[in-house]
Amino acid sequence: MKTKLISLSEASLTLAAAFLKNGEPVVFPTETVYGLGAPIYDEKAIKKIFTIKKRPVDNPLIVHVASWEEALSLCVDPPPAFQVLAHRFWPGPLTIVLQRHEQVFPIISAGRPTIAIRMPSHPGALSLIQKTGEPLAAPSANLSGRPSPTSALDAWEDLKGKTVLILDGGACPIGIESTVISLIESNPVLLRPGSISAKEIEETLQMKLRQRTPNTKIDSPGMKYRHYAPQAKIRLVFRREELCGAFILSPNPQKGERLLTTQSLYAQFREADRLRESLIEIDCTPQLLSNEALMNRILKAANIHSLY
Ligand code: TXA
Ligand code: MG
């Protein structure tokens, strides 16, 4: 079988679960971005994910669960904060890093003693996990280094020619990857900002989060790679009158400019590449600058480590 794309339905979910049980990776929609999944107890299928994506083997995968019991089976000694966060934010775009249970293959965590777990809220994703009968390890379904796919066609663009089944569930409602938080140390650490903000997590836990710094012991290996990047160069523009390029992204677009939202960022990056644009200009309004998750992805794509 080569790459196949079918629309999401009860029947295609059953077919996709059969593929997964047979060791074939499946691309499926989540509320954040599309994932490339394999059953966690099939080591050969997990290895295929790294090969298909050309993903460095030192970059661990997120495991997607459909129930609290599945989540508990993947970790040991979770702190009380785990239940508090899961109760408040699951199913949803929050990934929680805990101590890994020894029954989980080390390859999933790139050899680390930890495990990243998330319960997606997308009904198709939940149904696929349930029909497969075990959690699914799933990175975003892009080739390593490319923007995450927010539509089935984006995944197709990157993975065509590979042996995968792609379930088309339409555009992802959130459009950027989940918030990742580590509960490994006594103070929770924000490893990757996302649509669930640090502030919401702090209010829920009634505890300050530590931000990831180069000195944070628990890091998010994925964050070190140039990520989310289109081929075009990215230029941040802080004064509207200085916008002059052919491909302008703005939260308040004027004539000829394109709308920049969390949901559209990656789709716009990919569109720029399809049009072979060499430069993307970003209208950095105060509103955009205060959007931590979106700015995080833009700075990564622009290869800028900090604005200050
Ligand atoms: O929204 C999402 O999280 C999407 C959808 C498909 O669920 N998935 C996603 O996966 O973005 P991926 O592989 O593209 O990003 C996973 C991130 C990486 O930065 C990785 O380093 C980090 O999570 N991660 C995974 N396991 C980890 C662990 N044990 N410790 C620290 N970071 C971990
Ligand atoms: Mg990714």
pLDDT tens figures, 202-222: 999 999 998 876 555 545 666
| CA pseudo-torsion sign 24, 25, 29, 31 | positive
- Tell me, in angstroms, the distance from the centre of ligand 2 to residue 148's CA: 6
Pocket test for ligand 1, best of 28, 62, 128 (most atoms within 8 A of CB): 62
pLDDT at 137: 98
Pocket test for ligand 1, best of 31, 129, 177 (most atoms within 8 A of CB): 177
0.75 surpassed by pTM: yes
C-beta of residue 163 within 8 angstroms of C-beta of residue 1: yes
The label of the residue with tokens 């300050």 reads 208
221 CB less than 6 Å from ligand 1?
yes
pLDDT at 218: 46
Distance, CA of 241 to CA of 231 (rounded, Å): 25
C-beta of residue 280 within 8 angstroms of C-beta of residue 245: yes
Element (H, E) at 272: helix 265-274
C-beta of residue 226 within 8 angstroms of C-beta of residue 145: yes
- What confidence category does residue 99 fall into, taking pLDDT thresholds of 50, 70 and 90? very high
Say whether pLDDT at 92 is over 50: yes
**CA-based Rg of the chain, rounded to a whole angstrom?**
19
Beta bridge pairs of residue 156: none
109 CB less than 6 Å from ligand 1?
yes
Nearest-CA residue for atom 31 of ligand 1: 220
62 CB less than 6 Å from ligand 1?
yes
Task: Kindly report the backbone phi and psi dihedral angles of residue 179, in degrees, each rounded to the nearest multiple of 5, phi listed first.
Answer: -70, 135
* Short-list 177, 185, 178, CA closest to 81: 185
Atom of ligand 1 nearest to the CA of 218: 31
pLDDT at 186: 87
| CA pseudo-torsion sign 145, 294, 109, 131 | negative
Distance, CA of 187 to CA of 252 (rounded, Å): 38
pLDDT at 212: 73
Pocket test for ligand 1, best of 57, 89, 95, 151 (most atoms within 8 A of CB): 95
pLDDT tens string 151-206: 999 999 999 999 999 999 999 999 999 999 999 998 999 999 999 999 999 999 99
- What confidence category does residue 238 fall into, taking pLDDT thresholds of 50, 70 and 90? very high
Question: pLDDT averaged over the chain?
Answer: 94
Distance, CA of 217 to CA of 43 (rounded, Å): 28
- Tell me, in angstroms, the distance from the centre of ligand 1 to residue 292's CA: 18
Q: What is the mean pLDDT of residues 10-26?
A: 98
More confident residue, 304 or 66: 66
How far lies 304's CA from each of 25, 148, 165, 299, in Å? 34, 19, 35, 5
